[in-house]
Amino acid sequence: MGPARTNWFWQRLLVFSCYCAQAIANGPCKNSPTSRRCWGEYNITTDYSVVTPDTGVTREYWLAAQNLTLAPDGYERQVLVFNGSLPGPTIEADWGDTVVVHVTNQLTDNGTTVHWHGIRQQNSNPSDGVPGVTQCPIAPGDSMTYRFRAQQYGTAWYHGHFSMQMADGLYGPIVIHGPASADYDVDLGPVFVSDWYHQSAFITWRQKTMYGGFPARTNANAENGLFNSTNNYPCDDSDDPACLGTGKRSETTVTKGKRYRMRLIDSSLDGWMRVSIDNHKLIVIAADLVPIVPYVTDNVVITSGQRYDIIFEADQDVGNYWMRTEYQSVCNMLDIDRNDIRGILHYEGAEPDEEPTSEKWPILPACGDEPYDKLVPYVAKDVDVADTQEDLGIGWFYEKDLVFHWAINTKPLTIDWSHPTDLLAAQHAVEYPEETNVYNISGNQWTYWVIQDVGFVDAFHPFHLHGHDFHILAQGRGLYNPTTVKLNRKNPPRRDTATMAGSGYLVIGFETDNPGSWLMHCHIAWHTSQSLALQFVERESEIPALMDMEKFQDTCDKWDKYAKGAAHEQDDSGI
């Protein structure tokens, strides 16, 4: 045995004996209000990128995408929902479980797909749910089964990824139970916050937003916003028959002295929100599906696609307090007609029907993400030096008839629903069509991407990467300058959705350890439809083995048959 080999042996032995010593000292410990870091044989320090509990459990769900008329804020409109409700049912699993979801398209028009936002989909790329990338759309009347492993734990969500369906209400929460980085008594579950519009995004698209927001300023303001998927809206002075005036504020009842976990999910079509609870400090314990070292704040800023898990203690006088979601009008020069997105925190024993008179924390409006230094992953991971590094310049242009597009390195993305990238990979396509914005990346590498605003309109964009949590190596205003900005490779924040500041940059890095076609796009629904997206085709040769070709083709055949006679033509990027 040579010296190198001996060294290897002793290292392994050391790791093994440390592990044993720890296990004996601690033993398996049960997750409870005073031991949330525990999770049986595992705990909050377990490296979930390497270890997945083998529970042997499969959780099965059925979702149906449907057209419905709903009035979540008391203003009636057409929505798209799963299983008749906004949001759709909660998909729940334990860390390590396998999740199987049967999706049926009961929509009157259009195909659909379901993306499981934040789910790693390691070696299950064909279940990622992106039309024209990982599958053909599910035709009306058809069904498809998605299957994935809960390799991480925390708060995620699912949503339609066919054009702007998400913006019309086609989404629901995912809760994966596991350890947490701080203790709490009660899990209040998912709470969606969002802007809310009084007509379908597909109509607004045709009327306005396909002609851009910058610099023509044809963007549509949201009429209202929702806290926990509900709100009120004044109808007293309105003769609009859709204005029912039946909207209600969300009410959450708490018991004095107890600590509560709330899983915030931003399902907005557009914009940034600041969420706070009057008089109550928030302890932030996770950013997206990444547990973080807890920090205390009086509010969190959140944008479309992001999640924050927060804990607060009911430590104030028994009473009623406002839970606030404030739309940040300073971002992207956007606005909302009614920035009054509130819920009520009601203490047991307080007057039940009394409006809170509590006052807002002194919160200044601002865009972007939570402070970079605060988002410290609990399971620390350092980033290796780059094997490859590329620049992605974010710009925009108008094509004929003043149709507006965002572009990455001058290229807008347009998806061909009938020819998904996975299928092209399986057919060993020589080249991907230029408009599909494919970047080929090979395996076992660290790739860095410098996302830089070069659009001169100071627009912020929340970038979401499928199939990975990325590491945020740098994030700031101005031009990224490698001589003055040092990339942070020492346990940087990592998550699946992060903001590139207007006139600024976002430098991300990730390991190419997951074969598949992965979309990276701005999560503002208008911007996605306006082509702000690219695809990473990662470890291309390994993709065909992940596909059930017969089922894949069957979905495509049914889609093609439907699409031939369909009344609606593709008029956006398709995603």
Backbone angles phi, psi at 534, to 5 degrees: -145, 170
Q: Is 527 in the site for Cu ion (CB under 5 A)?
A: yes
What is the radius of gyration, based on Cα positions, of the chain? 23
Q: Is 524 in the site for Cu ion (CB under 5 A)?
A: yes
Q: Partners of 165 in the beta sheet? A: none
On the CB side of 552, CA atoms within 13 Å amount to 28
Q: How many residues bind Cu ion (CB under 5 A)?
A: 4
Q: Determine the Cα–Cα distance for residues 404 and 209; give it in Å rounded to an integer.
A: 8
Q: Residue 274's Cα: distance from chain center in Å? A: 17
Q: Is 537 in the site for Cu ion (CB under 5 A)?
A: no
Of the pair 346, 461, the CB lying nearest Cu ion is at 461
3-state secondary structure of 552: helix
Provide the minimum distance between the beta carbon of 185 and Cu ion in the complex, in angstroms, as a whole number. Answer: 38
Q: Is 367 in the site for Cu ion (CB under 5 A)?
A: no
Of the pair 151, 268, the CB lying nearest Cu ion is at 268
Provide the minimum distance between the beta carbon of 81 and Cu ion in the complex, in angstroms, as a whole number. Answer: 25
Provide the minimum distance between the beta carbon of 546 and Cu ion in the complex, in angstroms, as a whole number. Answer: 30
Q: Determine the Cα–Cα distance for residues 427 and 424; give it in Å rounded to an integer.
A: 5
Of the pair 103, 524, the CB lying nearest Cu ion is at 524
3-state secondary structure of 119: coil
User: Could you tell me the two tokens for 442?
Assistant: 């090979």
Q: Which span sits near Cu ion by CB under 5 A: 82-90, 130-138, 489-497, 525-533? A: 525-533
User: Could you tell me the two tokens for 134?
Assistant: 């990982």
Q: Which span sits near Cu ion by CB under 5 A: 44-52, 313-321, 500-508, 515-523? A: 515-523
Q: Which span sits near Cu ion by CB under 5 A: 149-157, 181-189, 358-366, 518-526? A: 518-526
Provide the minimum distance between the beta carbon of 217 and Cu ion in the complex, in angstroms, as a whole number. Answer: 16
Residue tagged 């007293």 (tokens): 236
3-state secondary structure of 553: helix
Asked whether the beta carbons of 220 and 539 are under 8 A apart, the reply is no
Answer whether the bond into residue 87 is a cis peptide, omega within 30°. Answer: yes
Provide the minimum distance between the beta carbon of 551 and Cu ion in the complex, in angstroms, as a whole number. Answer: 34
The candidate with the shortest Cα–Cα distance to 136, out of 440, 520, 426, is: 426
What track of x and - describes contact with Cu ion for positions 428 through 467 (by CB under 5 A)?
Answer: ---------------------------------x------
Of the pair 209, 250, the CB lying nearest Cu ion is at 209
Provide the minimum distance between the beta carbon of 532 and Cu ion in the complex, in angstroms, as a whole number. Answer: 5
Q: Is 269 in the site for Cu ion (CB under 5 A)?
A: no
Q: Which helix H or strand E contains 159, and what residues bound it?
A: strand 154-160
Of the pair 530, 555, the CB lying nearest Cu ion is at 530
DSSP letter at 385 equals P
Provide the minimum distance between the beta carbon of 305 and Cu ion in the complex, in angstroms, as a whole number. Answer: 11
Of the pair 36, 464, the CB lying nearest Cu ion is at 464
Amino acid, single-letter form, for residue 471? H
Asked whether the beta carbons of 494 and 508 are under 8 A apart, the reply is no
Provide the minimum distance between the beta carbon of 524 and Cu ion in the complex, in angstroms, as a whole number. Answer: 4
Q: Determine the Cα–Cα distance for residues 553 and 551; give it in Å rounded to an integer.
A: 5
Provide the minimum distance between the beta carbon of 472 and Cu ion in the complex, in angstroms, as a whole number. Answer: 17
Q: Is 501 in the site for Cu ion (CB under 5 A)?
A: no
Provide the minimum distance between the beta carbon of 533 and Cu ion in the complex, in angstroms, as a whole number. Answer: 10
Of the pair 407, 556, the CB lying nearest Cu ion is at 407
196 CB burial (10 A radius; 0-12, 13-18, 19+): buried
Of the pair 426, 575, the CB lying nearest Cu ion is at 575
Provide the minimum distance between the beta carbon of 521 and Cu ion in the complex, in angstroms, as a whole number. Answer: 8
Of the pair 269, 284, the CB lying nearest Cu ion is at 269
Provide the minimum distance between the beta carbon of 475 and Cu ion in the complex, in angstroms, as a whole number. Answer: 15
Q: How many residues does the chain have?
A: 575
Of the pair 457, 566, the CB lying nearest Cu ion is at 457
Q: Which span sits near Cu ion by CB under 5 A: 132-140, 247-255, 423-431, 522-530? A: 522-530
Q: Which span sits near Cu ion by CB under 5 A: 85-93, 423-431, 526-534, 539-547? A: 526-534
Of the pair 298, 391, the CB lying nearest Cu ion is at 391
Distances (CA, A) of 355 to 146, 231, 342, 351, 425: 44, 14, 11, 9, 58
Of the pair 324, 461, the CB lying nearest Cu ion is at 461
User: Could you tell me the two tokens for 211?
Assistant: 């002609």
Asked whether the beta carbons of 462 and 304 are under 8 A apart, the reply is yes
User: Could you tell me the two tokens for 282?
Assistant: 């928030």
Q: Is 522 in the site for Cu ion (CB under 5 A)?
A: yes
The 3-class secondary structure across 200-265, one letter per residue, is: CHHHHHHHCHHHCCCCCCCCCCECEEEECCECCCCCCCCCCCCECCCCCCEEEEECCCCEEEEEEE
Which residues contact Cu ion by CB under 5 A?
461, 522, 524, 527
